[in-house]
Amino acid sequence: MKIVELVAGANKDLWTSSTKSLRIGGGVTSIRLENFFWQILDEIGKQVKLPLPQLISRLHQESLIAGYNLSNFTSFLRVCCAHYLRLGKPALE
């Protein structure tokens, strides 16, 4: 594959950002991500049978339990999405 092919077929809506208000840890927060990442998170949520807000809250909670520094939670979500794709969209529980 040539690098130009990454751009040629790209849908500009995928890199457009959207903001969602969610409740995490008892507080309401806004998260801004590119639509591409929202789609991946939605796909993961459907696989584990969790609505998007509950999935985000669970990722936050489990990452805190694991001792991760979440000073940039949005970046953490992007990395989770990339990791999911890199692993070939594995079955999740």
What's the pLDDT tens digit per position in 21-78? 999 888 999 999 999 999 999 999 999 999 999 999 999 999 999 999 889 999 999 9
pLDDT of residue 2: 75
Domain assignments of the chain as residue spans, ordered by start: 11-86
Provide the whole-model pTM: 0.86
Out of 1.10.10.60, 1.10.3990.20, 3.90.950.20, 1.10.3720.10, the CATH code matching 11-86 is 1.10.3990.20
CA atoms within 13 A of residue 74's CA, in its CB half-sphere: 13
Question: Residue 78, exposed/middle/buried by CB under 10 A (0-12, 13-18, 19+)?
Answer: middle
Q: Which residues pair with 18 in a beta bridge?
A: 33
Rounded distance, CA 44 to CA 51, Å?
A: 10
pLDDT of residue 30: 96
pLDDT of residue 69: 86
